[in-house]
A and B are shown apart, each in its own frame.
Chain A
Amino acid sequence: MKHKEIPKGLRDFLPDEVNARRNLERKASQIFSSFGYEEVITPTFEFLDVVEAGVGDKGRGKLFLFMDREGGIVSLRPEMTVSIARLAATHLQDEMLPRRLYYSANVFRHVEPHLAQYREFWQTGIELIGAPGAWADAEVISLAVNVLRDFGLENFKISLNQVGIFNSLLDDSAIQAEFKEIIRSLVEKKDLVELGRTLDKLPINDLLKETIARLPTLHGGLDVFARLPYIEKSPNAVKAVEELMEVYAALKSMGVQDHILVDMGVLRGLDYYTGVVFEGFSPDLGYGLLGGGRYDKLLAQFGFPCPATGFALGMDRLSLVLKNSEKESPHYIVGGQNWESVVKKADELRKDGKIVELDVEGLSRDALHEKLADYPNYIIIYLDAVQ
């Protein structure tokens, strides 16, 4: 058989998988709606300029690019936040703020596919537009906790950081821009070996070197800051630490601190983050389950300077760690030789909320029972001819 191949990294979803997926989306949207978030839909592809205004031009190799017939270069969306920022800048400038939006959408990245990493994958997430400050961050992060709890996930953790800590340390160091980029990617990759070597070659303060070298391994409660001696010398870093502590305190008063950790290695790859960032993970999967943070400068890229924060859940990865606990409802099947009475009976049952199939093959009672003998989820109702 030819023509059965599908492009690398894509897949079909069968009814069981779709059912499980929709259940998760439904649970998430119920929680988001109850906090005043409203669903939006954006185009599946955007102009390359729009995408890169948000995510920068370093990741062009991961975009699916093509041209429209007017000659514009367009990209399948690699994520949702940039599209929502563009939407907000276009439509929400005169609205009352903050505005709460959520989405469920497929996104596309040209990555090497493997378990838990596909070229088309699904994200459900929220964006809180127009609210600065720790309480807004805390609302968003606590919603991430609430959703994972509601999904029935146990033992999950959410790691917080504030990108301003790392950025201020680098800015204060007079390191050349190209080395800043290298150091940033090494901290992010947690490549301690190369990070140590790169820092050794740089003419900077030893205490600062030690502080940067330690960042990827600082992980735990608020006490991690005690292990960063250099921070006190940088007023901007101190400010960022204070902001992170405020968010932590706000989360504590929301009762979700058991799921929260501080992890200085979390920087999130995207250029647009400006403040608190976070990632969620579970011991059952070697990959992150959700990610997000504050992006106060992104909307200005589209002419609407406005603070914002949000996160996206990786629905494909969540499906891998969550067993579908929803029990499948039984299917009734109504058979018989009189079509009119079969249809009538089926309609009656549907009125009671049952799922009812018609035996469109018109099988005999015995044949129908024989056919479904191995399918315990079917309840057979056979109508004999009226006496």
Chain B
Amino acid sequence: MQENGLTIALSKGTLLDPTVSLLEAVGLPCEGIVAESRSMIFAYTGTPRIRYIICRPADVPAYVEHGAADLGIVGKDVIVEQGKDVFEMVDLEYGYCRFVVAVPAAMSGVSLKELNYKRVATKFPQVAEGFFRQHGLQVEVIKLNGNIELAPLMGLSDVIVDLVSSGRTLRENNLIELVNIMDSTTRLIGNRVSYRTKYDIIQPLLEKIQSKMKGE
């Protein structure tokens, strides 16, 4: 943790551009932060001193939970999958996507309980298992690292749990959405102790972002 300054972990990838616009809008420095940059740390002098860490979205909660970063900007999808102990401060509303259960078109019309003891391929084992357990169902979860839509095509799994935004990938692979598990948008998260020890810096920033989100 940086004394007297603020360290913010930002997700690289598609969230970075809207994040930089948000930072600009609330008056934080962000000259030079571009998606193509190879730098991973951007530091600015001024009051308060601001430092950004640009990292993989999946790593943002870890930086924040451990206090290596005071704040972080990351999707709700990452937060629920990791179950890290962080303070969820503001819904920033961009980066919309949703967790869905999808099945091959041939299974269209299947009911959820017919999926009991089926195989589920997913990048998000916590979310997938939690969802089925909540409905009193047991499934075998197969963790994959990408291109989940391939799994049912190749007979690796019966269904998938995946993150979709428009749903185009599902359609292209002849899969249909069966259940919307939850919606996800980008969140501002904070470390619990930082929030207290750096309250004087974080609280005004929090209020600024909150009122921007309310459109004030």
Contacts and interface: CB of A to CB of B under 8 A. Distances in A.
Interface in B82-118: 85, 87-91
B206 A217 contact: yes
Contacts of A297: none
Interface residues of A, number: 25
B90 A193 contact: yes
Interface in A239-278: 261, 263
Interface residues of B, number: 24
Interface in A177-200: 189-194
Given A219-B196, A219-B199, A281-B193, A193 B89 contact: yes
A56 interface: no
B90 A115 contact: no
A159 interface: yes
Contacts of B67: 285-287
B41 to A, nearest CB: 19
Nearest to A281: B193
Contact of A190 (B66, B88, B197): B88
A112 B107 CA distance: 38
A283 interface: yes
Given A220-B199, A286-B193, A193 B187 contact: yes
A157 interface: yes
B180 interface: no
A284 interface: yes
Contacts of A286: 1, 65-67, 191-194
Contacts of B190: 190
Is chain B's binding surface mostly helix, strand, loop or mixed? mixed
A133 interface: no
Nearest to A287: B193
Nearest to A219: B199
Given A219-B203, A286-B1, A192 B193 contact: no
Nearest to A115: B66
Contacts of B193: 281-283, 285-288
Contacts of B3: 283
B85 to A, nearest CB: 8
24 contacts: A155-B197, A157-B196, A157-B197, A189-B85, A190-B190, A191-B87, A191-B88, A192-B87, A192-B89, A193-B88, A193-B91, A194-B88, A216-B87, A217-B206, A219-B195, A281-B193, A281-B196, A283-B198, A285-B193, A286-B66, A286-B192, A286-B194, A287-B67, A288-B193
Interface of A: 114-115, 155, 157, 159, 189-194, 216-217, 219-220, 261, 263, 281-288
Pairs of residues from A and B, 10 with the lowest C-beta to C-beta distance, nearest first? A286-B67, A190-B87, A283-B197, A191-B88, A193-B91, A281-B193, A286-B193, A286-B191, A193-B88, A219-B199
